[in-house]
Amino acid sequence: MTQAQNAPSVAELEAQEQRLVFRTFTHDDAWALGSLLVGLGRERQAPIAVDIHRAGQQLFHAALPGSTPDNDAWIARKRRVVERYGSASYLVGSRFRAKGTTFEDSSRLDPDRYAAHGGSFPITVAGVGVVGSVTVSGLPQIEDHRLVVEALERFLGV
């Protein structure tokens, strides 16, 4: 099965965002969520980097064996998409694809600074909105996205 055939729909991606909402998000939450992602990555021997930002501040960062400085560049580009659009980087890219175009062709944003590829997910606090992002880089984009969603589901118990 190809990545496109196995990809979630825009509606499924939007449902993930509606479901994966925090009551609060603290420095300790960032540490716990980041540590959970590192644990999942180690279990799978995944060559990933993990990043959590809130309100412009990096609260967590880790790079596992096999990851490279390029993963940090991808993290920054995907995180900027979440910050700009308030939605998961994979969802933003999927919305453009659903319209028959691509983010790169239609967003009018610099592709060296923005990447609507899977792996960055908004940290949304109920009653507040998007306050940050959790990002993984190192796997194919759908796998980056799914790893973040899996960690959020475990962390939030949903």
The pLDDT of residue 1: 44
The pLDDT of residue 34: 98
Span 12-26, average pLDDT: 98
Q: Mean pLDDT of all residues in the chain?
A: 96
The pLDDT of residue 6: 82
| CB 77, CB 115: distance < 8 Å | yes
Backbone angles phi, psi at 103, to 5 degrees: -60, -45
What is the percent of the chain where pLDDT is above 70? 97
Residue partners of 115: CB distance under 8 A and separation at least 6: 74, 77, 78, 81, 89, 103
How far apart, in whole angstroms, are the C-alpha atoms of residue 146 and residue 31? 20
pLDDT at 96 over 80: yes
30: its two tokens: 């960032």
pLDDT at 20 over 70: yes
pLDDT at 84 over 50: yes
The pLDDT of residue 2: 46
pLDDT at 5 over 70: no
What is the percent of the chain where pLDDT is above 90? 96
Task: Return the residue matching tokens 């880089």.
Answer: 137
The per-residue pLDDT for range 22-36, each reduced to its tens digit, is: 999 999 999 999 999
Span 69-87, average pLDDT: 98
How far apart, in whole angstroms, are the C-alpha atoms of residue 137 and residue 155? 19
Q: What is the pTM of this model?
A: 0.95
The per-residue pLDDT for range 40-71, each reduced to its tens digit, is: 999 999 999 999 999 999 999 999 999 999 99
Residue partners of 94: CB distance under 8 A and separation at least 6: 7, 8, 9, 10, 13
- Burial state string for 82-102 with b = 16 or more CB within 10 A and e = fewer than 16: bbebebbbbbbbbbbeeeeee
